[in-house]
Structure 1
């Protein structure tokens, strides 16, 4: 709109001049000399006023442009200095030539960095990051995403590093990953053979001892524990607790092995864990696959479904190596799954 104001002003002045000339011609023919000179003076006054307005418009426009240039130049000087993002600028030799207040406050501290090489300032080499690339580094208990931008003018190279503080993002991501739901399916190996011929009270005592192990394992965690059957248990807990069990190689297996039935047979467990799925339902499927793998390998172990396959823990018991009904069921499921994918099956 500001660009159209001079055009409108000139158009109005031209129209005013045209009207004045027309009135002047008419008055010269119709009126006396006095009226003519009055109209002429009015015309001159209107022309002077129009010229004055044009001069004011031009002066104000030049003043506005000068003020804008001054503000932009000042902003260009102050903006990098006052930006909340730490900025570091290096020369072609990767020596510090400038850094802003945010870099001094958050990273440099009280150190004087001008003229120092990059590797003495930051824990990475300059060639580790190309122009337009980013990387994550840790500095003084904070996490930063560092981006590099190269500016080449003639034969001079200027390198600028920007540091985006992503500590809160990393913390939030870690909390999210730690609190994702993890599914554990637990099966008592050889349940029917183990409790065959035992009294109900003996069976109840063994199961009570086993449940006390579950209570101790889940104490202080946000977990859900349910019975699926006499020999099957279902647990939903947070991923961080599953990782703790993995790091400890599932001490529940050793603790359960110390429970004996009739003082002779040891209680052994097979555990399937699913924690890498996209949702709870997929983790439950992964846990079932892991449990089938643990049973297929003889039981007395824990299997964790991973991106590259399965990871196994335990399996030290020798008495479990004989074929149990649980293992037979697991092998039968695998055979059925393989046979369903084939168009022809030969039984010999």
Structure 2
């Protein structure tokens, strides 16, 4: 059965005002009758004529008023429809099952479909499946990113309830509306993403370049040719960095600082840092080929953080034997090269400098905790005992952190029990170590550089001063902020 459209609100009150006024006059007529019968009769006759004219005009003009209202609504709707159709933002309406029922010109231009396209939105954008549309029982809005014909868009989907449309109408009182429509908006963010990518590509990257075997290479060259070898290496490094529109500055005889864009680092990655191999081609009679290590830091929050990343990266490259490049970002560490199979240099001078530094650290603390790796072996326990004896010799309280004794070292551990030269609390467990750790405690980690496989990883967080003594090649997981 077809439902009749009824009026409501102010428009209904305005049209029925004459009838309401007539009812008020009826009440007045009754009051007049109580005062004067003849006046009441005259007023009754007037009311009969008034109601006859008013009702006649009401029923006669009501269809005309409805027609005018519908005409106005139609014209008003046509204006809105034209504005929507010519809107620069691509816009479409979907049924609750995702079928397209209306599109504007901008939307049709993007999807290259004529007016009247009635297929599912999934046929246009495969990533927008039915389960990703706003559902009647779930969220009212959804937002996705998609790529279409080389452009990047943000798609916003908004549910429109048909019942709410009828409830908020000022002129139409229509009951029984059910279901909903889905409005689709497409926002082209291709230019924004290109701009953001350009800004990211132009961001600063810091590189450190070290000559691995500077002294050894010069020792194999005649003295008169040494300056030539150095000049050729300088020219090779500077020319290479300049080819990527970067700046290279020599800090020391065997160290360079390079400043470049992040885009240049991507190009270096594509070429697999071929500077590593180009430097090896410099030969003026030197018996040993010159090798370099490169550390690059990028994507830091500040320039200083990028510089710190580059220092960490070059330390990783040298720790892994040199002749390689390392890129460090807040999220990852990437390695390139490492073909010459060199080992980290550790001359007597460096060993003496490190020993002096370790002595300064230990003497500046009240207590020393020594920790090796989980499931310790003879290397780990032996190194821990060595640091323990150093601490005692320097007059500092020391403990070795050993939570579980494995059969491999149990005989060695037994040798220290009851030995008068060693204190009874020489070996403590993890919990005891955490409780003993204080602000003036130094933690010495031996025979391991990965925090996850240390005897007590939590102990690293409780000790502000940490020293790492290890001979293994470093990986992506390292103990940070080690002294």
TM-score normalized with structure 1 length:
0.70
Distance 1:113 1:248, change over 3 A: farther
Q: How does 1:193-342 map to 2 (within 5 A)?
A: 193-196=216-219, 198-260=221-283, 262-318=285-341, 320-321=342-343, 323-325=345-347, 332=354
Distance in 1 separating the partners of 2:240 and 2:278: 10
Say if 2:160 and 2:181, in contact at 8 Å, map to a contact too.
Answer: yes
1:252-289 CA distance string (max 9 Å, x none): 11112233463421111111100121222211111011
Counterpart position of 1:344: 368
Residue in structure 2 matched with residue 81 of structure 1 by the alignment: 85
Greater relative CO, 1 or 2 (CA 8 Å, sep 6+): 1
Higher share of residues assigned helix: 1
SS in 1 for 2:141: coil
Partner of 1:266, secondary structure, is coil
Secondary structure in 1 aligned to 2:299? Answer: coil
Closer, same or farther in 2 for the Cα pair 1:248/1:129, shift >3 Å?
A: farther
Deviates more, 1:166-175 or 1:219-228: 219-228
Structure 1 residue runs of 5 or longer lacking an equivalent are 1-65
Once residues 150 and 166 of structure 1 are traced to their aligned partners in structure 2, the CA distance between those partners, rounded to angstroms, is 23
The count of aligned residue pairs is 278
CA gap of 1:315–1:326, structure 2 versus 1, over 3 A, is: farther
Displacement of 1:145 after TM fit? 1.0
Q: Secondary structure at the residue paired with 1:271? A: strand
* Pairing of 1:1-348 with structure 2 (within 5 A): 73-105=77-109, 107-111=110-114, 114-126=117-129, 127-128=131-132, 130=134, 131-153=140-162, 154-196=177-219, 198-260=221-283, 262-318=285-341, 320-321=342-343, 323-325=345-347, 332=354, 344-346=368-370, 347=387, 348=389
Alpha-carbon deviation of 1:210? 2.1
Partners of 2:212 and 2:322 within 8 A in 1: yes
Q: How far does residue 74 in structure 1 lie from its aligned partner after superposition?
A: 4.8
Cα 1:306/1:124, change in 2 over 3 Å? same
Question: In the aligned structure 1, how far is the partner of 2:189 from the partner of 2:368?
Answer: 57
How far apart, in 2, do the equivalents of 1:274 and 1:242 lie? 10
CA contact (8 A) 1:298 1:327 kept: no
Secondary structure of the structure 2 residue equivalent to 1:317: coil
- 1:165 CA drift (Å): 1.1
- Asked if structure 2 preserves the Cα contact closer than 8 Å seen for 1:113 and 1:121, the reply is no
Secondary structure of 1:227's counterpart equals strand
Tell me the alpha carbon deviations over residues 73-125 of structure 1, each in whole angstroms, 9 at most, x when there is no partner.
Answer: 454333322211001211122111001111112x1225455221222222323
Q: For structure 1, which segment, 74-83 or 85-94, has the greater mean C-alpha deviation from structure 2 after superposition?
A: 74-83
Query: Equivalents in 1 of 2:285, 2:274: separation in Å?
Result: 23
CA distance in 2, matches of 1:293, 1:305: 10
Encode CA deviations 1:45-70: one digit per residue, 9 max, x unaligned.
xxxxxxxxxxxxxxxxxxxxx99978
Closer, same or farther in 2 for the Cα pair 1:112/1:189, shift >3 Å?
A: same
Considering only aligned residues, what root-mean-square deviation do their CA atoms show, in Å? 3.3
Q: Deviations over 1:316-346 (max 9, x none)?
A: 112x2253459958x959x96x989995245
Q: Deviations over 1:1-43 (max 9, x none)?
A: xxxxxxxxxxxxxxxxxxxxxxxxxxxxxxxxxxxxxxxxxxx
Q: Deviations over 1:295-328 (max 9, x none)?
A: 111111111112334221111112x225345995
C-alpha displacement at 1:152, in angstroms?
Answer: 3.0
TM-score by length of 2: 0.52
